Amino acid sequence: MNLPRLEDLPLEQGSRVLVRVDFNVPLRDGHVEDDLRITTARPTLEWLLERGARVIACGHLGRPKGVPVPEVSMAPVAARLGEVLGFDVPLAPAIVGPEVEELAANLETGRVLMLENLRFDPGETKNDPAFATNLSALADYYVNDAFGASHRAHASIVGPPLVLPSAGGRLLEREVEALGGLVAAPKRPFVAIIGGAKVSDKLGVIRALLDRCDAVLVGGAMAFTFLTATGGHVGASLVEPEMVDECRDLLATGRVRIPVDVVIAQAIDESAPTRIVGAGAIPDGWMGLDIGPETAALFIDEIETARTVLWNGPMGVFEVAPFAVGTRSVAEAVAACRGFTVVGGGDSAAAVREMGLASEIDHVSTGGGAALELIENGDLPGLRALRESQRA
């Protein structure tokens, strides 16, 4: 996918660059709890600063629904970004307006200004042209480094490329290269591992993967809708009845693998008694909460021989220790695989980081929804906007 790069921007000393970042990080007690999304933006920001740019960083946090909410102010994010970069990063009092324009105009060369939460303005999620124009007026150039938000046609994603010379940042470039390779020319065998709660959330990507994959391994709660489609008894496990026929069609391809045994309990609790039973033989009142050891072994065999692996979604309720074994087994197998391995964001990315395996994965995506949509559709609104800017 041919996207404009940082090197394509004709930067001069003192150029102002609006950088859309994905700093939607978890907060605890007013501090950033996990700064991965901040540290992964560092290469783009430092590249710009080293060339004498003045950077206006903008991003969103949470879902304030168009009104200022102090609990999701970007203040903790600006503070942590300053620690990462080694100098203070001031927070603008708003997103646009005369006061922000003055701060952007007077920003020193080689420094960063952080705008307040984009979603404090309803124009962001509504893709309001006036809001996008006012945001773009703060800078001479635009860089999109927010891969995790690029599946949204929001004002800060698709608006600035209409009026400013634009490029993709280093993080976005790396994401597109890794995930785009899964779409264009994956090495075979190509194995995808898909978990999570609902088939309906991932139906499109499963269909897309079946056009490219040799096997799709299904775990997590979504597996019980597939098991229902086979006539299995799943007890009190989560099932989407309206998806049963879809699952039956997917199973008919012969490339979807579902659990053969599961870990069950009557409550999602560390102290709850557990049993391992056949996947289609769960007693009434019990629910499946993890893949069982036989399933894990079958999945590991598929992963070991793969030359390309994509993993998105845990195999069970991995946050609770008795139901984390399947996810850990898959994570370790992906990490040990000699093929090209991609973990597609979300809970599975959190799992490999918590298990200390992230460094052994070829690419850990920062965007769960964006990663899946790129694989499903082959493109994203934010990427299209950059290409159109390049042609303008």
Residues belonging to the active site: 37, 198, 346, 369
21 contact partners, CB below 8 Å, separation of at least 6: 37, 41, 57, 58, 59, 145, 146
What is the C-alpha separation between 42 and 40, in angstroms, rounded? 5
Q: What is the dihedral of CA 122, 124, 125, 129, to 10 degrees?
A: 100
Tokens 């995790």 sit at which residue?
A: 148
Sign of CA dihedral 125, 346, 45, 174: negative
Which tokens is 304 given?
């070991």
Which tokens is 39 given?
């540290």
Tell me the one-letter amino acid at 336. Answer: A
Which tokens is 82 given?
């300053």
Strand partners, 341: 309
Tell me the one-letter amino acid at 105. Answer: A
- For residue 299, the 8-state DSSP code is H
Classified as helix, coil or strand, 295 is: helix
